């Protein structure tokens, strides 16, 4: 085993009892080139891996209390085990993470070495879930992950693919290379001391008190950008329209209409280093919103007169300074590249992310990154990784 370099940052990797535990060895090898690694095994995790292999790579611990040690022995040690690990960790990475482990963290249960270390640490926590798809989509699991995201925990995956139960569904551990990439971003914080404003989700335009015009945007891309920008060290403000997914742990300004989003952006974009407009803003609103519910028996037909909403991207492009960067999104059903290039110029953007309608409400996205000097086509990837690809260009 290599001798520790005191100048290197430490990653504590927690391995739980998921079938994907065998992939953790590859992850340890990939990260140990740049960081000191310490592994914590849960009791279930011990049953799924060859402990001796890990012991040749890095220190491995698996229990809160060492066999044969007395109370006095603990007092005489320089530091208690889980406190020592909690203090030295620059990052705690749980890969793979089971539903059981996520549930315990979300509810403050600290009953083994891994959960007590997480509870005692002020380091960033990155969780890579891997489990059966029914477990992952269970409402309790969704509530637990949403709660942890609000508290500032970071997640990657799970991916969709072949599961241990032989189903093709969501629940597969993310690629170890992708996990390692996100771990590096969290540790190195390439956007530290920068401030970012992001818009996300759809907007709604009322027709009457119970009806409105909107679109299919889920907000997933904007949320991924906000979470990733925070992970990279930025101070993030997220302006969001209505969305049902768990909000990331950043400053959030909730709005409904395009006018409300416009007002929030105009009040907050000054001084921001980077502005990313990923929201799907309604281009039009109803000219005369009815104060009462429109009754269908009184109207064989219904005509709505629409008027344009303010153009948020164009106005920020007009107002931005030379030190500010502006990114817009272009979703088109035809002539994607032509319309995206036109948008880059007309809105005075520094970058346009061009994608098609297949991206709506999907976990993945395939895009073109367009600047004044180049067009780059990216392969399809999870939106969390696409967010890192976009933001990495502004480090």
Identify whether 277 is a catalytic site residue. no
Q: What is the DSSP annotation of 25-89?
A: HHHHHHHHTTSEEEEEE-HHHHTTS-HHHHHHHS-EE--SS-TT--HHHHHHSSS-HHHHHHHHE
| Whole-number Å distance between alpha carbons of 375 and 351 | 10
Residue with tokens 């002020």: 122
Token code pair at residue 108: 């403050």
| Whole-number Å distance between alpha carbons of 202 and 107 | 32
Q: How many CB atoms lie within 10 A of CB 342?
A: 13
Catalytic residue among 58, 63, 165, 265: 165
| Whole-number Å distance between alpha carbons of 119 and 3 | 28
Q: How deeply is 37 buried, as exposed, middle or buried, from its count of CB atoms within 10 A (0-12, 13-18, 19+)?
A: buried
Q: How many CB atoms lie within 10 A of CB 128?
A: 29
| Whole-number Å distance between alpha carbons of 366 and 359 | 7
Enumerate the H helices of 151-286 as residue ranges: 176-188, 220-231, 258-268
Q: Which residues lie below 8 Å from residue 68, measured CB to CB, with a gap of 6+? A: none
| Whole-number Å distance between alpha carbons of 11 and 90 | 6
Q: Which residues lie below 8 Å from residue 6, measured CB to CB, with a gap of 6+? A: none
Q: Provide the annotated active-site residues.
A: 165
């Amino acid at each position: 085993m290599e001798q520790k370099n005191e100048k290197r940052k430490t990653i504590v990797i927690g391995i739980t009892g998921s079938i994907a535990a065998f992939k953790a060895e590859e992850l340890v090898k990939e990260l140990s080139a740049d960081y000191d690694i310490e592994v914590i095994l849960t009791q279930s995790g011990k049953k799924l891996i060859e402990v001796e292999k890990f012991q040749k790579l890095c220190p491995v611990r698996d229990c809160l209390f060492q066999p044969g040690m007395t109370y006095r022995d603990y007092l005489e040690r320089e530091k208690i085990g889980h406190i020592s690990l909690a203090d030295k960790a620059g990052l705690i990475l749980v890969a793979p993470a089971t539903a059981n482990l996520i549930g315990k963290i979300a509810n403050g249960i600290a009953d083994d070495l891994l959960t007590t270390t997480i509870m005692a640490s002020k380091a960033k926590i990155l969780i890579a879930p891997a489990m059966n798809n029914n477990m992952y989509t269970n409402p309790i699991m969704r509530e637990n992950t949403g709660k942890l995201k609000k508290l500032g925990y970071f997640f990657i995956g799970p991916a969709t693919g072949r599961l241990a139960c032989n189903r093709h569904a969501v629940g597969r551990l993310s690629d170890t290379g992708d996990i390692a990439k996100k771990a590096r971003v969290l540790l190195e914080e390439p956007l530290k001391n920068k401030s970012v404003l992001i818009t996300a989700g759809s907007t709604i335009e009322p027709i009457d008190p119970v009806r409105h015009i909107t679109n299919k945007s889920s907000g997933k891309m904007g949320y991924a950008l906000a979470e990733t920008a925070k992970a990279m060290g930025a101070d993030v403000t997220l302006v969001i329209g209505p969305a049902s997914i768990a909000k990331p742990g950043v400053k959030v300004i909730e709005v409904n209409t395009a006018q409300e989003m416009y007002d929030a952006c105009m009040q907050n974009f000054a001084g921001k280093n980077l502005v990313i407009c990923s929201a799907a803003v309604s281009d039009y609103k109803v000219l005369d919103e009815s104060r009462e519910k429109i009754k269908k028996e009184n109207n064989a037909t219904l005509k709505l007169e629409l008027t344009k909403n303010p153009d948020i991207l164009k106005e920020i492009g007009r107002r931005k300074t030379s030190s500010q960067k502006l990114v817009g999104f272009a979703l088109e059903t035809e002539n994607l590249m032509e319309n995206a290039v036109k948008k880059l110029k007309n809105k005075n953007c520094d970058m346009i992310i061009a994608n098609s309608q297949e991206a709506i409400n999907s976990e993945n996205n395939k895009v073109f990154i367009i600047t004044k000097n180049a067009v780059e086509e990216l392969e399809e990837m999870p939106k969390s990784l696409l967010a890192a690809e976009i933001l990495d260009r502004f480090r």
